[in-house]
Structure formats: structure tokens, C-alpha cells
A = this chain, B = another copy of it.
């Protein structure tokens, strides 16, 4: 059995609170067990220099943790004067993942800035960030779509992420909390679309390795969790937006 009493393939309780903040075009507080992340989407009316003139939009993401999101206090990256490798890796992942389900040509030369700020961490902060950021981004782009005559709805599918892993006792589990994650042999993050296609697969043996058979187990576990996450996203987004996404997926 797992440290918090869950079944191996059971997600922690999820909650997605939309319109959490007043200023951003889209904002969400996503709760996955004790992990809590504020995800916001801000629209900027231009693209980075390397994309100018192509008539396409861009999605970029930043990720941070409050110093006391964790058990012991972390020094702020602003005080250290530099962003850690882990942070950079995560924010590159979030941006890349989201771009896979946005029709960038449909939004014109705009940048969507995604900010994921972890206010409480208990494992799975990067996957919660992706799952929450998808909702924030979709709400921001939907609001814009209602004001501007976009040639077509720009969100082409749902997008969510979860983690799976193999514990020391060889148990394959879904949605690891911090206690599990810090001791797992193998740790894998899976980002998937609503259609069951992979967007990103990052599996790592921690001073360890994993076989092809174990890979298959891990992917099955992930699939199970992602199915539930897509339902949560639909609930959070509401019927109208869900209908628009489904229309694009059908194409």
C-alpha cells in the first residue's frame, strides 16, 4: 500500500478553481493533493524577435516556487540572481507542451505568457502546472476569440500531464507525492492530448534503469490518470468552451 493509503493507480484529489485572480486574462488555482499552483495566462500583443513577421503566435512559460512552498525554505532565485537548471527545464517543458495543442497561426502575432507559481509543493508540481496552465490558457484565448474574429478556434485538443513511477518495492504507481517521488527508482512524466497522443515523455532511472516491460506498465498507469484529468479540465472549462474544443478535435 501507498504512504497516503491510495491504490497504486489512484490520483490524489484534484480541484481546479478558475478566475482565481482579478488581473490576468486567464487564471487558475489547481490543487492536486497538497500541491497547489497558481497558473495565469497573459496575452501580449507581439511575438519574440525570432518569430516576427511570420504571422504566428507563441506560447512561453515561467515557473517558480514560493520560498516556503516546501518543507524547508528555499532561497529565492531572484536573491541568487539566477534561475536554476531545474526551473529552466520545467518552464521549457510547460511552454513546449502547451504549444502542441494551440493552432499558432490562428492567433496571429501574439504571445501567451504562462506563469506557474507553486504556493505549496508535495510532488508533481510540473505536471500540475501543465494541467492547470492548459485551463488558464484556454480561458484567456477563448476570451480573446470572443472579442477578435480569429479565423478559427485556436485550441485543437485537451492537454494534461501526470507522473508515474516505480517505487523501491517495484510497485508501479500513479501521481507520486513528494515522499514517494524522492525515493522512487524510476520517475516518468507523461504529457498527453485528449486524443491519447503523446506530447512529451520523460522517463528517468534515478541511479537505476527500467525495462521495456516496465515502460509499458508506466504508460498504462499514466493513461488511466490522464483520462480523469481531462474530465476535470472539462468541468472547469464549462460546456461552451468544451464544445468549441471538441469541434476542433473532430477535424
Q: CB within 8 Å of B: which residues of A?
A: 21-24, 27, 34, 38, 40, 42, 44, 62, 64, 66-73, 76-89, 91-92, 96, 99-100, 104, 113, 115, 117, 119-120, 122, 188, 193, 195-212, 215, 219
Given A21-B119, A201-B215, 14 new contacts (CB under 8 A): A27-B68, A44-B73, A62-B79, A68-B115, A76-B78, A77-B78, A81-B82, A85-B85, A85-B89, A86-B92, A88-B89, A89-B92, A198-B205, A201-B202
Copies of the protein in its oligomer: 6
CB within 8 Å for A78 and B89 given contacts A40-B68, A100-B207, A200-B205: no
CB within 8 Å for A68 and B201 given contacts A78-B78, A207-B100: no
Contacts of A81 in B (CB 8 A): 81-82
Question: What is the predominant secondary structure among interface residues of chain A facing chain B?
Answer: mixed
Among all A-B residue pairs, the 3 with the closest Cβ atoms: A85-B88, A197-B209, A77-B78
Instruction: Say yes or no: A67 contacts B115, CB within 8 Å.
Output: yes
Contacts of A34 in B (CB 8 A): 22
The CA-CA distance from A92 to B202 in the complex, in Å, is: 13
Instruction: Say yes or no: B209 contacts A199, CB within 8 Å.
Output: yes
Instruction: Say yes or no: A73 contacts B117, CB within 8 Å.
Output: no
Q: What distance in Å separates the Cβ of A214 from its nearest Cβ neighbour in chain B?
A: 8
| Chain B, residue nearest A115 (CB) | B67
